[in-house]
Amino acid sequence: MSRDHNPVWNVYDLYRTARLNAKYYSALLHQAENRNFWLEFILLCTAPTSAIAGLWFWDTELGKNIWQYLGVVAALAAVLNPLLSLPKKMKGYESLVSGYKMLEHDLHEIQISITEKKKYDKTAQADFKKELKRKGVLVGKETDAKENKKLKQRCEKEIISELPSSSFYIPKEENNDKASKTQSNATTTADPATSATTTADPATSATTTADPATSATTTESTNAA
């Protein structure tokens, strides 16, 4: 996909990155919540004081066998629960999702401003630099050592479908301030029309030269004498 080197693409790329990360960490949060739910469910159901543990079914031969397997699963869940630190991960994911959604919203406002003004002016550039710093803070909160590549690729396809390059407005002038300065400098240079008036007028120059007819008459009179 070819595109020019207009600096406005920095805004649009960061906008799509913010939405991508919001989707990605939302999916991770959903996965962590599901895992935490089932771990907690198993631990609660197999607890000796739970209502489920007191059911008559567990006194049957089949129930006893199933209860033994559930006991093994519960023991594994009890070991994995603190190791996975799912509640801590969920809290981190929630913070990242909230942060990237706010970043996406603010960058969307900059996009709208560029489209309405038909230019990427100093105000939009200053706002973009602020959002870029906010993105750096969010990156510092990303604690996962390993990225879920399959999930990330799925989210990237969704973003490309939702925000294709053709959906963004690209200003014709890459730097409006520079263009204005160039125009101002052009007006201070000498005007070609004014310069032309300062040169000698061809008609005036012609009148200062000798008239061919007059010269001819003078020469003829001299010869006759």
What is the tens place of the pLDDT at every residue in 177-225? 554 444 444 444 444 444 444 344 444 433 333 343 444 334 433 333 3
Kindly state whether residue 224 falls inside one of the protein's structural domains: no
Kindly state whether residue 77 falls inside one of the protein's structural domains: yes
Q: Which domain holds residue 138?
A: 8-166
Q: Write down the mean pLDDT value for the chain.
A: 79
Output the pTM of the full model: 0.69
Kindly state whether residue 207 falls inside one of the protein's structural domains: no
Question: pLDDT confidence of 51, banded at 50, 70, 90?
Answer: confident
| pLDDT, mean of residues 57-85 | 84
Cα dihedral 146, 148, 153, 154 in deg (nearest 10): -160
- Structure token pair of residue 151: 């999930």
Kindly state whether residue 138 falls inside one of the protein's structural domains: yes
- Structure token pair of residue 52: 């489920």
Counted domains in the chain = 1
Q: What is the pLDDT of residue 163?
A: 95
pLDDT at 36 over 70: yes
Query: What does the pLDDT look like over 113-134, one tens digit per residue?
Result: 999 999 999 999 999 999 999 9
Cα separation of 79 and 77, whole Å? 5
Kindly state whether residue 210 falls inside one of the protein's structural domains: no
Kindly state whether residue 205 falls inside one of the protein's structural domains: no
Kindly state whether residue 203 falls inside one of the protein's structural domains: no
Kindly state whether residue 55 falls inside one of the protein's structural domains: yes
